[in-house]
Structures are given as C-alpha cells and as structure tokens.
Structure 1
C-alpha cells in the first residue's frame, strides 16, 4: 500500500474522534472516574499516612464493593422516572444529574472528616460516595451505549476511558499535589491538607454536572419493554387490583426481563461470558489496592508520585486509550481484549522488580507509564465488549450487571491484599498479581471460539444528527 493510502486509512480511523458525542463521553468519563479513586487508592494513601494499619486499609477497600452490586438498583435507572427532572431532562440525564449532586455533597462530607477522630464517619461518607458513583456509572454507561450506533462504540469507549483514567490521575496525583501544596516541605501527616484536597475534588465534580446539563438525551427504542409491561399489566389486572398489577408488571419488566433477555440470546454460552467478565480485571484490581500503600512504604514522597510517576502515567494513559480505540476499529474487539489482558498481567512484574530495588524514581516512572498504557488499551477493549452484549431498552440493567460481575470477585480478593503483603512481602504479592491474570487469556480464547457471533444486541434509534 502506498504512503498516501496508509495516511488516508489513518485519517479515516481518527475521524471518528471528531463527533460531539466523543467529547461528551470524554467529560462524562472524567465525572465517572474521579469518585472511584477517592474511595480507593487515594483514600488508602490518606489512611496510611494518618497511621491506620495495612490490614484495616485492606478491609476499608470493601467499601468499593458498592460498584459490584450496582446491578441491584440498576432497574430503577432503566425504568423509574425522577419527578420533575425526568420530564425536563429525560430519563438518562435526570439520573446523571441526581447522582452527581449527591456525589458533590458526599465528597464534601469526606473532606470534613477526620479518620483518627472518627473513622466511622469517614466510612459512612465514603460509602455514600461509592453508592452515588456506582449509580452515575449505571446511567452514563446506558447513555453511552444508547448515544451512537455500534460502529461508534469503540471510539466512545476510548473517549470514555481517556476521561475516566484522566480523572483517576487527577484524583490521585492531583489530590496528592494539593495536599503537598498546603504545607510545602513538610512530609508529616496533615489533616487539613487532605481535607482541602478532597474539597477541591468535590468542586471538580461540576465538570460532570455542566456536561449533563448541556448534552442531549439519546433516543432509544423501548417499545419491546413497554409492550411487555403493558401486556403483563393487563393480564395481572384480571387477578389483582390495578395498583398491584401495575407494580408487579413494572418489577418484572425492570428486574427480571433484562436477565431473561441476556440468557435467551446467549444460552449456555452466557455462563462462559460471565466467567470471563468476572476475571478479566482481577490482575490490575488486586494490584491496585496496595499500589499507593506500596509507594509510601518504599519511601516515595507525594511530590515524586504526583510530578514524576503520575505525569508520565497520564500521558501514556491517554495514548493507550486512544490507540486502543484505533486498534478496536482496525482489528476487532476480541483480539484487542486478548492483547490488553496480556499486557496488564505482564506489567505487574515491573512493580515486583520495583519492590526489589526500592526507592528509584526513574524506574517507577517507567513502570507506571507502561502499566497505564496497557490499562488504557485493555479497558477500552473491555468497555466496547461489554457494550456489545446489551440490548435496547435494558442497557442500564444489563451493563450494570456485567460491570458489577467484573468487580465482585476481584474486589473480594483484593480485600485480603494487605494481609498478604504483611505475610509474604511486596515482591511475592506483585508476582502473584501477575500470575492470576494469565488464565484470563484462556477464557478469552474459549469465548471467541464457542460463543456465537453476530447476535443482535441492540437497536438504538440513532441518526447522524444525534451523533454529530
């Protein structure tokens, strides 16, 4: 192929990023990624610096299990209207705004807490953040899936990933930087520094609020779900009073039908799909809970992590996510899903070597850069894959179930990470975090081989004006 032809194909691949929906998903991804780190690794750093023991920090991470159970209330997002807001903004945007306002309030509550004086108070606000953040994830995922046809999902997934990972960097490196600025040159624990840092993070949540207010509600075909609910309501009305019949039909349509639809479409293969989903991110999630604790124990300062490691990590995350979107469009989801899983598992070995050499800023910069580049590719592919499994009218519930399954097993295992490090040390921990990622490659191969392809997953009513 000539140089001109290669250049044209490259431009064609990149043109998908010019749509307005891509920018919207970039900003909503930022809104979704920011709260996660505030109840995950950044909170672990705060607690460790305050003197909370590693085992307690490991157990504290179970707060993030709210993300694994978001499927339990996802039917509300799919089928329940919020008074006044839904009429003014539409179902998806009204739920987004509601979750974002709760997040702002809960993060402010964390910023006014003291883990040494009242750890329970901090835990309560952290749980509220996790719950509201999981709710926001539910509705943003549905909004993303419903906003564009399947051919654009790779680009939307990549943009979402760029925003999401950028916010994670802001909520880690940014939070550490702000905490360090409060009292420069002082490495001692400073409660006020952390409180100011979390207050700033609460203010940054208004990026999502403004994006929600200025975005457009997607148009979705919910006729099948609506007709099923109406038919069931009429049938039940013959046996029960109308209010009871209406309630039962709504519960069935919102909570039961999405799962029936999924298993009906995939049959026995659904179990293999769910097994892959439950294990795909086990390597990086198990490793991630101890990452910032590891940095503290290795003697890295907040400034070193924020300015050196995280800056390069952010750059490589953006490059990795964007590159992942191009790879998805060029080679398809399953191949890039395999590549991402392989890269994530292998890069954990870099941190095992870091544990052996101790405090070494240049190597940590390289390790985090490569790790974030790999995570960008893997997550973009995984988001696109999960999106392809959902059906129109049930996207919020089905995607919430799938993404919850993704977190449940890894988060449970990660809760024991502190105790594991105390017993076996960091080198063994990171090697183990790498090894447990390799069986995922076999699962991807089996899914690609045995799961039927070409199953119609959704029929979003989208035209060029909607995605422009």
Structure 2
C-alpha cells in the first residue's frame, strides 16, 4: 500500500464498489421503507443491465476525449468525471422523496448506474495500463478487489445500520460526499498516458492505408458486418429498456428472461462472431492476401470516419486474436466457466439459508455480510500473497479447486451439517457464538460461509489478475470489458434448470452437481497453465 499506484488502486476499488452496492442493493431497502410497490422496484432492477452490457460503449472510452478534462489523462478523465457525477447524483437522490418524485428518482438512478459502469470500464483499463514490475497486475488486481469488497460492506450492511439511526436522506448524502471526495483524491493518481500508448499514438504507428495493410474493401466489409452485429445489440437493449419503462405494466418484458435468453445472443453477436471475423482478418494479413501494394490516400471524410470506426471496433479484436491465436479459444472457455461455481447457485443462497435451514434474517446477515465479507477480504490478501509466492497460474488453479470443493461444505449443511458442526467446534467458533448470546448452530453457518468466501477471495484475486494479464495496454478498455461481460452473464444460463433440480431432488444433489461443474474450470486452468508455460519457453 506504500506504492503510489497500489494506494490509488484501493481508492478506485472502493469508488467502484460503493455505487454498485448502493444502486443495486441498498436502494431497494429505501424503496421498501417508502412503500414503493414491488412491480415498480422490478423496473428499478433494470438499471443493472448497464453493468451487464457495459462493453457496448467501451470503444468510446478508447477514442473519445472529454472537453477540457483530457489533460487529466485518457483514463482519469472518465474516472474522475464518473465519480463526481455519481457523488452529485447520490446527494440529489438524498433530497428526493422516492414516492412523490419517482420519475426523477428512477432517471437519476439509471444515469448513476450508467456512470458507475463507465467508471468500471475506465478503472479496469487504468489498472492494466499502469501495471509495472513493482506495482504488478497481480497486486493491483488484488488491492482493487479488497477496496471493492470493503465498499460493498460500507454501502450494504453499514448503510442499513446507519439508516435505522440517521435516516436514508443522511445515508445517501454521506455516501455521495464520499464519492465526490474520491473524485478529488483521484485527480492526483498516476497518469496512464505516460505509461501506455494511447489509441492515437497506436494509430500513428499503424496507418491503415499504407502498403502491406488490408485493402479498404476488406476492412469495410468487416466493419459493416461487425457494425450490424453491434447495432442489433444496441437496438435490442434500447427497445427492451423503452418497453420496460412503459406505462402499461402488462406490456413490460421479463428482465430475467431477457438476460437469460437474449443476453447470450448479444454476447455471440458482439464478442464471439466479431472475434471470428477478426481471426479471418489476421489470417488474411499473415497469408498476404488482399493487401495494399502501395499507400492509398483518403478519398474524403467518409473514408477517414470508416478508418476511425475500424480502429475502435476491429483493431482491439484483431490485436487480441493475433497475439493469442488459438489460445484465445481456451481463454474464452476459462472465462465462461471459472466463476460458474460461485455465480450459478447464488440466486438460491437466501432461500437455502432462510427456507431450507431455517436460520433467521439476523443470523444470515451476521454470517454472510459481516463475517463473510471479512473472510473474502482475508482470502483476497491470501490470494495476493500466493500470486507473489507461487505465481499466477498456480494460484488460479488452486482457486478453481477450492471454489469447486467448498460446494461440498454446503452439501454437508443440506444433510444436517454434522461435519461442519464438528469443524466449528474445533475452531472455537461455536463457543464464541454461544458466549455472545447466539445459537450454537450459527457457528456452523459462519464457518461454512467463511471457508467458502476465503476460497472465493483466493479465486477472485487470481482470476482478475489473470484476466487483466491477457489484455494489452492501449486496447485495455475494449478488451477487458468484452471478456469480463462473459463472466457477468454466464451464471444466468443454468439457473432455471438448477432451480428445477432443487425442487425435484433437493439442495444436496444441486451442490454435488455444481462441484462436478467446477472440475471443468480446473481442467481448463491446467491447460492454460501448460499453454502459458510452453509460450514462455518458446
């Protein structure tokens, strides 16, 4: 934390986690207290789509500068602007009545989610761009997540506690002022431009109309295809948002169904198919086909605009495909499966704790929010240490093993928790809980959640470090946003079938199945480890 880059990374992580926790979690508690109906709150949940589909506007952050603020640096201009805007939005929300001013309230919340997702894109890119031999990508990724998790605790559990005492108005006012303060602090963060080449500098090194480059006709065809795919995705999301915000509740589409069914199609249209097109372009370039024999000048504003769009949409993909080759297929498979163990059953966590195991809400809050978040932060610290001691791929593989194995702890809970109770007794947690006036069985839940979150912290530290390592400086905003979007959407695909499995065969069978699913990520980690080791030797 003594390193300047690492210290600011912690601030960035906190500033990224706080609005996410407030807008997608704590805000609903305020709406509930204000007696806003559930149907209206369901419409509010749509603001979460800004995070799921943030990659759709990520190319703009690599190519567009904000007036006056460009002097801050191409990453900081977006980060600081988003933080200050978020602070102003939260302060404004604190002064509104969510019932009397519901329209303005929802509009500001939606803008806040968009600004928060934009901040995430810029922060992820900044982390990749400023990493060096001292402030390594592994350490920066770990510290970012620690700040993010602490912010989740502040914006979640602490905000709820404060709301009981000082009211929602004061809570959101304080949180808004914290974000404005973060924006001021981040003015002094290192500038990524001094470390990584900007998109404009890369353009100077790669003039698309020089001899040896792909012909304008081929580039135009590729740009047209990718443009149609991205255009369809943008229109689809836009139409869905407009329909969802309509005045007729019966005409509103189902948000969960949209993400589960249309979400994968959007990912295919904006990531998978464009990556295939990029692979064809790389093959044409390397095989010497359809190349310009000599430099060709621009023939007007249209050709310049086409080249500009080509750089924004196509070049980040061709760079990634050209650099990783067939290894990108393995990387995409790992992105799709690595966090599957954690994400796929998360929706059923509270029904499992409250309905199946019959714990109280207070017990679940203590075990999952306070004790659980502490365990995640400890796991992140341990993961960061392992990254520096045994290396990135060893830690990534260990994280996959632990993430899969900890599902067996929940399987034991589903059978009565006999083994976990013994472990809780051995660790002294049962005794501590009893001394504090709690039920002894709470210790069993705390140990189970704690061990799982410890594994989640280790896996999370390794995964974000690995994901950050496979994107390149200069194209980091687009590449990281595209890859991370796969992680956000992957857990939604199997939840319907998983819910049916729970209903028919119980939670125990579900946890055993998820453990087996986790072995897929373990195998892929070993293959990726072998690939990177072979590449290093070569």
TM range (shorter): 0.7 to 0.9
Within the alignment, does 1:137 sit opposite 2:120 as a pair? yes
Matched, 1:33 2:17: yes
Contact 1:42 1:292 in 2 (8 A): no
TM superposition score normalised by structure 1: 0.76
Secondary structure of 1:240's counterpart equals coil
Q: State the alpha-carbon separation in 2 of the partners of residues 110 and 288 from structure 1.
A: 29
How far the C-alpha of 1:336 sits from its partner, in A, is: 0.7
Match of 2:155 in 1: 171
1:260 aligns with 2:237: no
In 2 relative to 1, CA 283–115 (structure 1 residues): closer, same or farther, beyond 3 Å? farther
Distance in 2, Cα, partners of 1:105 & 1:417: 41
2:111 matches 1:96:
no
Deviation at 1:96, TM superposition (A): 0.2
- Cα 1:383–1:432 change in 2 (3 A) is same
Q: In the alignment, which residue of structure 2 is the partner of 1:202?
A: 176
Q: 1:365 aligns with which of 442, 446, 449?
A: 446
Q: Distance in 2 between matches of 1:453 and 1:58?
A: 49
**Aligned equivalents of 2:90 and 2:501: distance in 1?**
30
Q: Say if 1:207 and 1:160 are closer, same or farther in 2 by CA, change over 3 A.
A: farther
Matches within 5 A, 1:358-397: 360-397=441-478
Residues 1:290 and 1:371: Cα distance change in structure 2 (over 3 Å) = same
Q: Which whole-Å deviations, capped at 9, do the CAs of 1:245-296 have from their partners, x for residues lacking one?
A: 3322221112210100000111122111111112211222233344456556
The answer to whether the 8 Å contact 1:279/1:410 transfers is no
SS in 2 for 1:216: coil
C-alpha distance in structure 2 between counterparts of 1:357 and 1:119, whole Å:
45
Q: CA deviation at 1:380?
A: 1.0
SS of corresponding position for 2:53: helix
Question: Aligned residue for 1:323?
Answer: 382
CA 1:128–1:288 in structure 2 vs 1: closer, same or farther (change >3 Å)?
Answer: farther
SS in 2 for 1:83: coil
Shift, 1:173, TM fit: 1.9
So what's the TM-score if we normalise by structure 2? 0.67
Greater Cα offset, 153-162 or 433-442: 433-442
Deviations 1:8-38 (A, max 9, x none): xxxxxxxxx5312111111111111223333
Q: Cα offset for 1:325?
A: 1.3
Of residues 230-239 and 286-295 in structure 1, the stretch that sits farther from structure 2 once superposed is 230-239
SS at match of 2:131: coil
Q: Choose which of 204, 213, 225 in structure 1 pairs with 2:202.
A: 225
- Structure whose alpha-carbon radius of gyration is higher: 2
Q: Quote the offset at 1:229 in angstroms.
A: 6.0
Distance change (3 Å), C-alpha of 1:232 and 1:455:
farther
Question: What is the CA–CA distance in structure 2 between the aligned matches of 1:413 and 1:91, rounded to whole Å?
Answer: 39
The alignment covers a number of residue pairs equal to: 426
Deviation of residue 82 (structure 1)?
0.7
Task: Please give the residue correspondences for 1:56-205 in structure 2 after superposition, counting only pairs within 5 Å.
Answer: 63-87=47-71, 89-107=72-90, 125-150=108-133, 152-181=136-165, 197-205=171-179
Counterpart of 1:4?
none
277 and 363 in structure 1: CA distance in 2 versus 1, 3 angstrom threshold: same
Quickly say closer, same or farther: Cα 1:364–1:406, change in 2 above 3 A. same
| Mapped partners of 2:30, 2:503: distance in 1 | 19
Cα pair distance change 1:56/1:368, threshold 3 Å? farther
Aligned to 1:333: 392
Which stretch of structure 1 is more off in the superposition, 132-141 or 291-300?
A: 291-300
In the TM superposition, what whole-angstrom CA distance separates every residue of 1:93-136 from its partner, at most 9, and x where no partner exists?
11101222333345457667888999987765554343222211
How far apart in 1 are the matches of 2:299 and 2:384?
51
1:247 aligns to 2:305 (yes or no):
yes
Gaps of 5+ in 1: 1-16, 183-192, 457-468
Q: Distance in 1 between matches of 2:443 and 2:400?
A: 25
